[in-house]
């Protein structure tokens, strides 16, 4: 049952990246593809029905981790307080900027909040990638089973001294490029005119950057995350996920150039799903990895009581059905381009 809960956590985190990822990417492109106030309102209008609902998946993933693997959540968060606060502040500032922008019909007021919106979106995409990098590489557990990390480190990534170092920053840059591509595909689908044209061009540029950074991160992972790369090599399912990611990556470019922007966006989502599924399969059964290897928390060592897992499972699927129905209806109601 613990393995099932692992899969549920991975599913929720993947759903968050795919769904909130497109409005993070749209935010990162906000002042690039939108040059006038009307164009910027068009970008905000495109993500308006979705962005706050998308963030629910991050809360759901945290709640599922607490319900199933509370020890792993406690150990991970204890050493990452500053990073968590940066993530929360970015989420707060992003929400405030969307809500406050139209409170005053003043050019400077709106320009400030547009800048905050773009900066917080960029920071969130980068921080999410850095977080993935630290999860894949691991943490320097102490003899007491806990760890702490500096925010920045110039030491070798093998020493895992900092949250942001050469390896995790490369994963962060890759995540930023991938989500920018994803957001550009979404805006090309949901907007018209100059914004759609610029979004398509931005998505193409971001896809090229994503390909280059993907190759770089893959090479660095062999050097600095050997446990996960070994898991990838040994598990056929991870290869299937990689094939799905590669196929979706190619499809989003072909479909975008053919003007099938909705399908290109779906293919972009498929790329992210395949990539994150590959990481989840390769990392299993480890939840919080010790770079030394001796004190890692796995689904077996960090699991909560079986009775709690069984009781929580019934409520989880009930809530999941409600959320799935909500999002299906949301996308159906807001089908097509935004005016």
Distance CA 296, CA 302 (A): 9
Of residues 15 and 104, which shows the higher confidence score?
Answer: 15
Q: Say which range, 201-205, 277-281, 335-339, has the weakest mean pLDDT.
A: 335-339
pLDDT at 336: 67
Which has the closest alpha carbon to 28: 177, 171, 193? 177
| Cα(185)–Cα(193) distance, integer angstroms | 14
In the chain, the percentage of residues whose pLDDT exceeds 70 is 99
Helices (H), 225-338: 226-234, 236-257, 261-283, 306-333
**Interatomic CA distance for residues 80 and 74, integer angstroms:** 10
Q: Identify the pLDDT of residue 334.
A: 77
Q: What is the pLDDT of residues 163-221, one digit of tens each?
A: 888 999 999 999 999 999 999 999 999 999 999 999 999 999 999 999 999 999 999 99
pTM for this prediction: 0.93
- pLDDT tier at 315 (50, 70, 90 boundaries)? confident
40-58 pLDDT tens trace: 999 999 888 888 888 888 8
State the pLDDT at residue 250. Answer: 96
Q: What is the pLDDT of residue 126?
A: 95
Query: Are the beta carbons of 93 and 115 closer than 8 angstroms?
Result: no
Q: Which CATH architecture has domain 2-333?
A: Up-down Bundle (1.20)
**Cβ atoms < 10 Å from Cβ of 58:** 19
């Amino acid at each position: 049952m613990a393995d099932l809960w692992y899969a549920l956590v991975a599913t929720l985190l993947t759903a968050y990246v795919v769904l909130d990822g497109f409005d993070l990417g749209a935010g990162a492109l906000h002042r690039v593809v939108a040059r006038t106030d009307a164009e910027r309102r068009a970008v905000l209008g495109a993500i308006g029905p979705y962005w706050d609902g998308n963030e629910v998946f991050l809360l759901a993933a945290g709640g599922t981790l607490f319900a199933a693997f509370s020890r792993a959540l406690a150990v991970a968060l204890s050493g990452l307080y500053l990073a968590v606060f940066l993530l929360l502040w970015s989420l707060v500032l992003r929400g405030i900027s969307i809500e406050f922008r139209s409170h005053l019909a003043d050019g400077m007021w709106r320009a400030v909040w547009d800048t905050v919106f773009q900066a917080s979106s960029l920071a969130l995409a980068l921080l999410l990638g850095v977080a993935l990098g630290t999860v894949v590489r691991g943490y320097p557990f102490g003899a007491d089973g806990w760890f702490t990390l500096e925010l920045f480190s110039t030491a070798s990534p093998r020493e895992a001294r900092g949250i942001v170092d050469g390896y995790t920053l490369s994963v962060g840059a890759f995540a930023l490029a991938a989500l920018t591509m994803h957001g550009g595909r979404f805006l090309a689908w949901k907007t018209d005119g100059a914004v759609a044209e610029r979004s398509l061009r931005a998505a193409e540029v971001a896809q090229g950057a994503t390909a280059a950074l993907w190759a770089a991160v893959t090479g660095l992972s062999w050097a600095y995350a050997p446990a996960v790369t070994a898991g990838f090599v040994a598990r056929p399912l991870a290869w299937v996920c990689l094939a799905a990611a590669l196929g979706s990556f190619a499809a989003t470019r072909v479909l975008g150039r053919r003007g099938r922007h909705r399908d290109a966006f779906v293919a972009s989502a498929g790329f992210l799903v395949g990539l994150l599924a590959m990481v989840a399969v390769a990392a299993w059964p480890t939840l919080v990895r010790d770079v030394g290897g001796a004190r890692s928390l796995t689904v077996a060592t960090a699991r909560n009581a079986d009775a709690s897992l069984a009781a929580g499972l019934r409520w989880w699927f009930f809530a999941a059905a409600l959320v799935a129905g909500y999002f299906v209806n949301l996308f159906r109601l807001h089908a097509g381009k935004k005016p």
